[in-house]
Amino acid sequence: MEPVVLIVDDEEGIRESLSGILEDEGYRVVSAGTGEDALRMIQEQTPDLVILDVWLPKMDGIQALQEIKSLKRDIPVIMISGHGNIEVAVKATRMGAYDFLEKPLSLERVLLSSRRALERSALERENRELRENLTRKWKFIGESPSMKDLRGQIEMAAQSNSRVLITGESGSGKELVARLLHGMGSRADKPFVEVNCAAMPHELIESELFGHERGSFTGAFEKKKGKFELADKGTLFLDEIGDMSLQTQAKVLRVIETQEFQRVGGSANIKVDVRIISATNKDLEEEVKKGNFREDLFFRLNVIPISVPPLRERREDIPLLVEYFVQSIAEDYGQPLKKITPEAMKSLEEHSWPGNIRELRNLIERLVIMTPSTVITAKDFALTGRHEGSDYFTCRTLKEARESFEKDFIAKKLEENNWNVSKTAEILDIERSNLHRKIKTYNIQAGGEAQKRSRN
């Protein structure tokens, strides 16, 4: 659809000449002779651009500009005047005018300014929509006590530039917390740069973090900026920090201490201002004891610790999450909005969710796309028990998938044997003490009477 340009000038000759040249360029043009008429037209049909004369009868152009910006702030306005002076031009610019052109008008200048104003307006609209989509994607969902407490911690921590260490199980929402900390803080309009330390090969992670100079290693055909440099003035999110090698940990520690680094193969010091937020599903204190993680780096990162609860510890939030996922996924895929029956919702609430929110979202996405009916019932998915139906493909590593399967398998065997630990250990062909240790490690719990019978 062609852009609509509103020309506001009390001289009919100016309106006609501008209309002709703009229509030849493919714009649709409407015009008004007074500021009052222009405001009425803007309320009825929002134009994409306004070309506004400063000297108008009754309401002058400066007053009209003020009214336009109060009505439709995002419409670009180009001011024109036959009696232009610096004072008026500065005032119009401060009030939000995109450009100020003097009469007699250069038609080439009018076209160039109009094209640039429309391009910038389109870019701003695109960026605004992108921010809105990101806000919707990273929305904080949950009214349970633990989530209310988490929200309060995020709000307080976001107001500082202190380093934050986010801990929690895989899929529990650590990245969401990191993005909220960035989005609610003073660096919100600056870059948010993410690095997954677990997914990055050890031989490449230093190049990824610090960048490299051309020819510094085989395959380095050109100079490349690293994540620290790209995140300057913004936030660097180091996800799965517990998987970073000791060698890289030492270099990250030095950057934290000095806010300076050198590219791989380079000699010049590069200074940055970066807020570091890190996350892990590991017990870093235990990793320090094992010698897998530097104690000094742990203390540097753990200035503000934030723990994200697993989904099984806030089951009351599951209906809210399901409703949100159903609606957002239906919108994304152009699917009709579907309803979840009470029985299906109960089944979702009773499931253990070893994959946490990631597993729940994946299931809802599958149901929204693959369920032919507009009503989703418990028969549409296979969550027949609290420990069945796990989606192991939501796990990031083989170790996570193996542990998730082992947890579900043990829980299923315990339930089959009425939580008789000795009998279950015999069937599984493992020592009773070993089974007890796994039950404790995986926090496997039975309900009601079955749990009482397990104490044998």
C-alpha distances out from residue 71 to 46, 61, 354, Å: 10, 15, 51
Of 132-146, 272-286, 301-315, which range is least confident? 132-146
Share of the chain above pLDDT 70, in %: 92
The predicted structure's pLDDT at residue 396: 62
Same domain for 276 and 330, yes or no, is no
> Mapped to the 3 state alphabet, what secondary structure does 149-172 carry?
HHHHHHHHHHCCCCCEEEECCCCC
Q: Domain count for the chain, please give it.
A: 4
Decide if 144 is inside a domain: no
How confident is the model over 406-419, as pLDDT tens digits? Answer: 888 898 888 888 88
Q: How confident is the model at residue 135 (pLDDT cuts 50, 70, 90)?
A: low
Residue 204 above 50 pLDDT? yes
- What pTM was estimated for this model as a whole? 0.61
End of a domain among 106, 134, 162? 134
Share of the chain above pLDDT 90, in %: 59
Q: How far apart are CA 110 and CA 105, in angstroms?
A: 7
- Classify 219 in phi/psi space as left (phi over 0), alpha (psi -120 to 50) or beta: left
Decide if 394 is inside a domain: no
Same domain for 219 and 192, yes or no, is yes
Q: pLDDT: is 175 or 85 the higher one?
A: 175
Q: Are 279 and 178 in contact (CB under 8 A)?
A: yes
The predicted structure's pLDDT at residue 131: 61
The mean pLDDT value for 214-231 works out to: 84
Q: How confident is the model at residue 451 (pLDDT cuts 50, 70, 90)?
A: very low
Per-residue DSSP letters for 96-137?
T-SEEEESSPPHHHHHHHHHHHHHHHHHHHHHHHHHHHHHHH
Class of residue 432 by CB neighbours under 10 A (exposed 0-12, middle 13-18, buried 19+): middle
Same domain for 204 and 294, yes or no, is yes
- Classify 260 in phi/psi space as left (phi over 0), alpha (psi -120 to 50) or beta: beta
Q: How far apart are CA 408 and CA 419, in angstroms?
A: 14
Q: Which domain holds residue 418?
A: 399-453
Same domain for 297 and 331, yes or no, is no
Give the bridge partners for 196, in sequence order: 239
Decide if 139 is inside a domain: no
Residues 6+ apart with CB under 8 A from 429: none
Q: How far apart are CA 296 and CA 249, in angstroms?
A: 10
Same domain for 55 and 108, yes or no, is yes
| Structure token pair of residue 95 | 């009030």
Class of residue 366 by CB neighbours under 10 A (exposed 0-12, middle 13-18, buried 19+): middle
Residue 25 above 50 pLDDT? yes
| Structure token pair of residue 131 | 């921010």
Same domain for 155 and 303, yes or no, is yes
Q: In the predicted model, what is the mean pLDDT of the chain?
A: 88
CATH, residue 123 = 3.40.50.2300
Name which of 246, 220, 225 is nearest 236 in CA terms. 225
Decide if 103 is inside a domain: yes
Q: How confident is the model at residue 123 (pLDDT cuts 50, 70, 90)?
A: confident
The predicted structure's pLDDT at residue 16: 94
Same domain for 280 and 205, yes or no, is yes
Same domain for 373 and 408, yes or no, is no
The mean pLDDT value for 318-331 works out to: 94
The predicted structure's pLDDT at residue 266: 87
Cα maximum dimension of the chain: 98
Residues 6+ apart with CB under 8 A from 200: 208
How confident is the model over 33-46, as pLDDT tens digits? Answer: 999 999 999 999 89
The mean pLDDT value for 257-283 works out to: 92
Name which of 300, 320, 302, 301 is nearest 311 in CA terms. 320
The mean pLDDT value for 388-404 works out to: 64
Residue 134 above 70 pLDDT? no
Name which of 330, 404, 416 is nearest 136 in CA terms. 330
The predicted structure's pLDDT at residue 33: 94
Of 167-181, 229-243, 385-399, 434-448, which range is least confident? 385-399
Residue 125 above 50 pLDDT? yes
End of a domain among 279, 308, 337? 308
Q: How far apart are CA 233 and CA 243, in angstroms?
A: 26
How confident is the model over 49-84, as pLDDT tens digits? Answer: 999 999 999 899 999 999 999 999 889 999 999 876
Name which of 51, 58, 49 is nearest 14 in CA terms. 51
Same domain for 294 and 316, yes or no, is no
How confident is the model over 336-370, as pLDDT tens digits? Answer: 899 999 999 999 998 889 889 999 999 999 999 98
Give me the phi and psi of 306, to 5 degrees please. Answer: -130, 125
